Amino acid sequence: MSTIREVAAKAGVSVTTVSRTLNNRGYISQSMRERIRKAMEELNYQPNEVARSLSFQHTRMIGVLVPEVNNPFFAEVVTRLSRELTAHGYRMLLYIASGTDDDAPDYIAMLRSNQVDGMIVALRSPSVEKELRDGLPTVSFERLPSGGLPTVVCDNLEGGRLAARELLDCGCRRPVMLGGRHAIENFPAFERFRGYRETMEAAGYPAEIYEINEEDYHNDYSEAARKVFLAYPDMDGIFCTSDRIASFVMQEALRRGVRIPEQLKVVGFNDCIAGQCAIPLTSVRQPLDEMCAAAVDCVIRQIERQPITAAMSFPVSLSRRVSTRGYVASPYIMRR
Amino acid sequence: MSTIREVAAKAGVSVTTVSRTLNNRGYISQSMRERIRKAMEELNYQPNEVARSLSFQHTRMIGVLVPEVNNPFFAEVVTRLSRELTAHGYRMLLYIASGTDDDAPDYIAMLRSNQVDGMIVALRSPSVEKELRDGLPTVSFERLPSGGLPTVVCDNLEGGRLAARELLDCGCRRPVMLGGRHAIENFPAFERFRGYRETMEAAGYPAEIYEINEEDYHNDYSEAARKVFLAYPDMDGIFCTSDRIASFVMQEALRRGVRIPEQLKVVGFNDCIAGQCAIPLTSVRQPLDEMCAAAVDCVIRQIERQPITAAMSFPVSLSRRVSTRGYVASPYIMRR
């Protein structure tokens, strides 16, 4: 039985490199791994776990699965996850579901065959669920817990409450909520609707909710915006479950000559593009930096077999802007 | 010397699997490769190129390097590249430069050690340049040719001309162009400025150009927008080198009570978010679907050692909307 020193000598590398290879620390090129592996075989320096660690080596790659990145929210999420992962010496293998998540299972299988060390998943569909039920370190992002995965979400319930209160505080008496898929329990919108409804009903106002139907629920919400103005011609406030939806509502309002915020007050959710809208949009803000850092920390902790918090919920705040408060001395963000 | 049939039998896999492993077709798990490799060694079925192909196996991963994805243009690019790559059985290893490209070289080295089959690069900095000078199949996206890399761009020169003509056609007499970094030759904005200047001067108008200085050139262009209104209080038209910049200009205009398009006509570039702005934005459109398909095709052709077109330029068009034409019967897109 030979020593690690002999292996290093035979492979023509330092002892450190051999031990880093054995412990999967730092970056060792595939060819050098191969050389070291050969040297071990020839010197018969090869306990089983080493052989295994060399075939199933860590790749320091994390698979990130999102429904879209041309949605500003997920663009911000992917940007922050990428930053965090790079800071920890990991790379991001990104999967963007093409509208449907149908090919996600194949992709997850690919990721496996490609030996990602873990996954951060912002998709939620039965097909994906099934695939995620095994030992691979995984974190579910911005989807309610399901399938017992560790989850990072924001306090969507409170977000709905904040939006409702803002509309009431600004004097809205015929408010409407606009969003989609709130029937699906594991979508964040569900909790937002619940918080909105609670608050409106507690204040003695009807919780008018206009649900965007499936065929209008995509990147272009102009059709949904037109319909809500037809359904509620006299609405004086509207809470949209995303800033993107809100931007189409404001577009439709300007087109109809409806003045914001004088005649219609608008509140969005996510606060990613809200500050850039032609009419700066009041929006419920999620602490994305903290949420993304937590997701990355959680997946790395699982990889390193450390204890984790299984369900993390982060507080939201309200960014008040022109769409509810009008142009004030500074039109720029006032945090609650 | 033994046969592939014997190797398959010893490894307990089909002959097809062995040959697919040898030719790097389809997905073979690392562990199965290992098993097949062992069987070959034990049966002494191992010409050198096979050993090599097994250590330097194709990974069917393509590294994609972009400056940001919270910029709608790159979000659309990444979305389309992802779709194209997945359709061809490749995965996307995404790198998002954190503002500066400083860590890009390290990342490229990581990608190498990680054995990507090729790279699609939308970053351009001297440091990145250096790293890309070698055999790895690479395509440069939306950056002018440099370092002799195959390149996919749109016709930025014509884009600048289209924007200038639109402002003139709409009666602007005191137009201004707003953008950044046009001094750097390999940035697309450079050509856009050139086309704009040519057209304005040919029409007998001064090509007023306000360059955004470095510290104002980031995701939030509100400061740049404020400055251009101070520098050109009487401008009646403005061409911004991106829709994002234009959205901040429109925000500043509404804040100042400047009516669009009556008092100020605005033209953007990229046509990604242009249709979603509260005031639908006239914008120069790039054929992103075709450009992304071409980039993926070009990198795969290099991987497969097929001939390629070294420099591909795609035609642009103008999407006329409310920001220059006002609300017409249909406020929606009229393609030139």
A75/B79 touch (CB, cutoff 8 Å), yes or no? no
Average pLDDT in the A285-312 region? 93
Q: What is the pLDDT of residues B145-164, one digit of tens each?
A: 566 789 999 999 999 999 99
B91/A70 touch (CB, cutoff 8 Å), yes or no? no
Q: Which residues is B208 bridged to in the sheet? A: B176
Per domain, the residue ranges of chain A are: 4-47, 61-154+288-315, 156-285+319-325
Which listed CATH number (1.10.260.40, 1.10.10.10, 1.10.300.10, 3.30.460.80) goes with B4-47? Answer: 1.10.260.40
Q: How far is A73 from chain B (nearest CA, A)?
A: 9
Which residue does chain B place closest to A221, by CA atoms?
B276
Which residue does chain B place closest to A243, by CA atoms?
B276
DSSP string spanning B63-111? EEEES-SSSHHHHHHHHHHHHHHHHTT-EEEEEE--SS-TTHHHHHHHH
pTM: 0.78
Query: B251: Cβ–Cβ under 8 A, 6 or more apart, which residues?
Result: A276, A277, A278, A279, A280, B222, B225
The answer to whether A48 contacts chain B (CB < 8 Å) is no
Give the number of beta-carbon pairs within 8 Å between A and B: 146
CA atoms within 13 A on the CB side of A137: 23
Tell me, rounded to whole angstroms, the distance of Cα A324 from its chain centroid: 27
Q: Is the pLDDT of residue A51 over 50?
A: no
Q: What is the pLDDT of residues A90-149, one digit of tens each?
A: 889 888 886 555 667 777 776 666 668 999 998 766 667 667 766 789 999 987 556 678
DSSP string spanning B52-69? HHHHT----EEEEEES-S
Q: Is the pLDDT of residue A157 over 80?
A: yes
CATH class label, A156-285+319-325 = alpha beta
Average pLDDT, rounded, for chain A: 84
Give the start-end residues of each E strand in B113-207. Answer: 118-121, 138-141, 151-154, 175-180
The 3-state DSSP class for residue B285 equals strand
The answer to whether A4-47 and A61-154+288-315 have equal CATH topology is no
ipTM of this complex = 0.74
Strand arrangement, sheet containing A208-212: A208-212, A175-180, A237-240, A265-270, A282-285, A317-320, A334-335
Minimum-distance CB partner of A31 among B55, B68, B107: B55
Minimum-distance CB partner of A113 among B29, B112, B244: B29
| Rounded (5°) CA angle A249-A255-A259 | 75
Minimum-distance CB partner of B103 among A55, A86, A279: A86
Query: A9: Cβ–Cβ under 8 A, 6 or more apart, which residues?
Result: none
At A316, list the tokens: 């939201």
Q: What is the pLDDT of residues A211-258, one digit of tens each?
A: 888 777 777 899 999 999 999 999 999 999 999 999 999 999 999 999
Residue-level pLDDT at A101: 52
Residue-level pLDDT at B52: 39
CB interface of B with A, residues 67-126, below 8 Å: 68-70, 72, 75-76, 78-79, 82-83, 86, 91-96, 98, 103, 107, 109-115
The answer to whether A148 contacts chain B (CB < 8 Å) is no
- Residues of chain B with Cβ-Cβ distance to A110 below 8 Å are 27, 91
Q: How far is A79 from chain B (nearest CA, A)?
A: 6
Which residue does chain A place closest to B328, by CA atoms?
A255
Q: Distance of CA B246 to CAs A274, A297, A331, B96, B252, Å?
A: 15, 37, 18, 23, 10
CATH code for A61-154+288-315?
A: 3.40.50.2300
Q: How far is A297 from chain B (nearest CA, A)?
A: 19
Which residue does chain A place closest to B247, by CA atoms?
A278
Per-residue pLDDT of chain B (336 residues; tens, 9 = 90+): 577 788 888 888 887 787 777 766 666 777 888 888 888 878 877 444 344 344 446 778 899 999 888 888 999 999 999 999 988 888 898 888 865 556 677 777 767 666 689 999 987 666 676 677 667 899 999 875 566 789 999 999 999 999 999 999 999 999 999 997 655 556 777 889 999 999 999 999 989 999 888 777 777 899 999 999 999 999 999 999 999 999 999 999 999 999 999 999 999 999 988 888 889 999 999 999 999 999 999 999 999 889 998 889 999 999 999 999 998 644 444 333
Q: How far apart are CA B124 and CA A26, in angstroms?
A: 27
